[in-house]
């Protein structure tokens, strides 16, 4: 995993579904439009992502989406499907971000709800991500969707301060009652 993968939300301040959701559409990440994701990531995150990140994003198919507001690419969620011990699949959110002028319009919520809904439909019991420990906005955002801090990892990030992160996890379906 490259340094910084999992820099989720980047201070995303969603305040629920606003008028922006009506003008928002989602599209899959493919070879033909992956450059839009690269440009978004450059604007949103303090790290550069390697080719594996983009390969994993495209390979996740429906789990990674670009968000368009009035036909302008303004946000994205990039996920990776992972196999856990015992063979169960879980979803790792590598990044979720929305450009600052388009926050508080429900776009980040729409992206995250898309992934949560897919997990429910496909019986995927767990979604998790890493968030920098000082990213209070992102932590609050994910907690609204039922994510909880399940672990702290010291020195996770190599070139940003603070270097520590939280692992936030959402358990879905039966996994939510078993945890």
pLDDT in tens, 72-96: 999 999 999 999 888 889 999 999 9
How are strands ordered across the β-sheet holding 72-83? Answer: 24-28, 65-69, 72-83, 89-98, 126-132, 165-171, 148-153
Per-residue pLDDT, 176: 59
pTM: 0.85
pLDDT in tens, 27-55: 999 999 999 999 999 999 888 899 999 99
Question: Read out DSSP for the chain?
Answer: --TTTT--SSS----SS-GGGGGEEEEE--TTTHHHHHHHHHHH-SS---HHHHHHHHHTGGG-EEEEETTEEEEEEEEEEEEPTTS-EEEEEEEEEE-GGGTTSSHHHHHHHHHHHHHHHTT--EEEEEEETT-HHHHHHHHTTT-EEEEEETT--SSSSS--EEEEEEE-THHHHH-
Of 137, 115, 135, the closest CA to residue 126 belongs to 115
Residues noted as catalytic: 92, 130
Of 49, 37, 31, 35, the closest CA to residue 111 belongs to 37
Model confidence at 15, pLDDT cuts 50, 70, 90, reads very low
**In this model, does residue 159 exceed pLDDT 80?**
yes
Rg (CA), the chain: 15
Per-residue pLDDT, 6: 46
Per-residue pLDDT, 22: 79
Per-residue pLDDT, 21: 65
How wide is the angle at C-alpha 18 spanned by C-alphas 15 and 24, nearest 5°?
115
**In this model, does residue 131 exceed pLDDT 80?**
yes
Of 130, 79, 149, 72, the closest CA to residue 105 belongs to 72
Domains of the chain: 24-171 (3.40.630.30)
Q: What percent of the chain has pLDDT over 70?
A: 85
Instruction: Write down the residue that tokens 């999992």 correspond to.
Output: 6
Question: Read out DSSP for 26-52?
Answer: EEE--TTTHHHHHHHHHHH-SS---HH
């Amino acid at each position: 995993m490259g340094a910084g993968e999992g820099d989720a939300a980047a201070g995303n301040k969603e305040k629920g579904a606003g008028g922006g959701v009506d003008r928002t559409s989602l599209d899959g990440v493919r070879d033909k439009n992956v450059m839009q994701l690269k440009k978004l990531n450059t604007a949103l995150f303090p790290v550069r992502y390697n080719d594996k990140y983009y390969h994993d994003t495209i390979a996740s198919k429906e789990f990674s989406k670009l968000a368009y507001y009035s036909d302008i690419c303004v946000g994205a969620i990039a996920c990776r499907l992972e196999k856990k011990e015992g063979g169960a699949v879980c979803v790792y959110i590598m990044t979720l971000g929305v450009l600052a002028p388009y926050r508080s319009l429900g776009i980040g919520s729409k992206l995250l709800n898309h992934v949560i809904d897919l997990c429910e439909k496909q019986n995927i019991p767990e979604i998790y991500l890493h968030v920098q420990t000082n990213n209070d906005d992102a932590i609050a955002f994910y907690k609204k969707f039922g994510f909880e801090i399940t672990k702290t990892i010291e020195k996770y990030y190599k070139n940003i301060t603070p270097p520590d992160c939280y692992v936030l996890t959402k358990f879905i379906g039966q996994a939510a009652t078993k945890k």
